[in-house]
Copies of this chain bind each other. A is one copy, B any other.
């Protein structure tokens, strides 16, 4: 496989600085690596002899399994860092933990942490040490989750043209993002990629989860291309794609939500509500889903509408693409 475009990014920390050409390269690379997943051996030797260290300070089975499978499919070796039994409780700093894995020979570190900025800090340290190690942000606090943003983009583009998923397919499409925007690193990453693709992005959520000022700041950062709604209907009207976000149940004990039932009544994605959208509307959700809260079960299970399974498969393909691109580039 030859790289389709010259790739120069050494770390993947945020989608804020992604160029259209970088988005295209990721989409095309993922499309070509997706076929590996459906091949007989499910493996290519691309990253043989490379070590991918999964440093998941915030636990996540789903995302870690996805990265693990992506790394295995590229024939990399994997080191898993388990936060429970870790050196952290022994007083070691996060940077020192990362340096330990560097000294063990890690080439790529996939970092998830509950605090925004940790992957960036580790990347800065790795660069300062001239280590050659690439950092991949697998979710940092409320900040960014770039591989999720890219897999959602890839899923949407693939739904429109499976053979040739590309940015321009989303140009002018109306895309609704519904739910807890305030606490969602997924939404933040998607806003970057979808506006870069030229889509019309409509955010909808209750004022507690999409405060006016916060919405305005988001919009300002995107050159005033976002649309904000406190009701779901105007966001859904004529939408081509609807992405609903996971609702953390903790939000209720934080007094940001009265009840899950009321949330579903006002913002839940139901078949009835989807009649406002384009006829062939497609639904996305980053998972795990609270059935009957963010989305009704019958919509979620309708293969004509739901892209949720495709998102999981796309996740492995996108992570293969990212590991491939940063794992084989040299500064």
Query: A54-62, A199-207, A211-219: which lies at the B interface?
Result: A54-62
| A172 proximity list for chain B (CB < 8 A) | none
Cβ-defined contact, A104 with B289, below 8 A: no
| A77 proximity list for chain B (CB < 8 A) | 42, 69, 72
Given contacts A65-B79, A96-B291, A105-B313, contact A42 B37 (CB under 8 A): no
| A92 proximity list for chain B (CB < 8 A) | 287-290
Interchain CA distance A310-B84 in the complex, whole Å: 26
Scan residues 65-96 of chain A and give those whose CB is less than 8 A from a CB of chain B: 65-66, 68-69, 72, 77, 79-82, 84-87, 90-93, 96
A90 to chain B: closest CB distance in Å?
Answer: 5
Cβ-defined contact, A309 with B103, below 8 A: yes
Interchain CA distance A208-B72 in the complex, whole Å: 50
| A312 proximity list for chain B (CB < 8 A) | 100, 103-104
Q: Is A41 part of the binding interface, using a Cβ–Cβ cutoff of 8 Å? A: yes
Q: Is A249 part of the binding interface, using a Cβ–Cβ cutoff of 8 Å? A: yes
Cβ-defined contact, B43 with A104, below 8 A: no
Interchain CA distance A183-B82 in the complex, whole Å: 25
Interchain CA distance A316-B290 in the complex, whole Å: 38
Instruction: Name the residue of chain B whose CB is nearest to the CB of A100.
Output: B312
Cβ-defined contact, B37 with A48, below 8 A: no
Q: Is A39 part of the binding interface, using a Cβ–Cβ cutoff of 8 Å? A: yes
Cβ-defined contact, A49 with B59, below 8 A: no
Cβ-defined contact, B91 with A290, below 8 A: yes
| A293 proximity list for chain B (CB < 8 A) | 91
Chain A interface bracket (under 10, 10 to 19, 20 to 34, 35 or more): 35 or more
Interchain CA distance A8-B194 in the complex, whole Å: 48
* Candidates B91, B96, B289; contact of A249 at CB < 8 Å: B91
Interchain CA distance A310-B103 in the complex, whole Å: 7
| A91 proximity list for chain B (CB < 8 A) | 249, 288, 290, 293
Given contacts A43-B49, A60-B85, contact A96 B65 (CB under 8 A): no
Interchain CA distance A96-B311 in the complex, whole Å: 13
Cβ-defined contact, A51 with B79, below 8 A: no
Interchain CA distance A48-B43 in the complex, whole Å: 10
* Candidates B37, B39, B93, B105; contact of A69 at CB < 8 Å: B105
Residue interface mask A129-146, B partner, CB < 8 A = 1? 000000000000000000
| A41 proximity list for chain B (CB < 8 A) | 48-49
| A86 proximity list for chain B (CB < 8 A) | 61
Interchain CA distance A79-B290 in the complex, whole Å: 24
Interchain CA distance A288-B92 in the complex, whole Å: 5
Instruction: Name the residue of chain B whose CB is nearest to the CB of A312.
Output: B103
Instruction: Name the residue of chain B whose CB is nearest to the CB of A41.
Output: B49
Beyond the given A92-B290, A96-B288, please list 14 additional residue pairs across the A-B interface where CB-CB is below 8 A. A40-B49, A61-B85, A62-B100, A65-B79, A65-B80, A65-B101, A66-B104, A69-B77, A69-B79, A84-B84, A91-B249, A91-B293, A96-B289, A103-B313
A-B contact pairs, 15 of them (CB 8 A): A41-B48, A42-B51, A66-B104, A69-B77, A69-B105, A72-B77, A84-B84, A84-B85, A87-B287, A92-B290, A97-B288, A103-B310, A103-B311, A104-B316, A105-B316
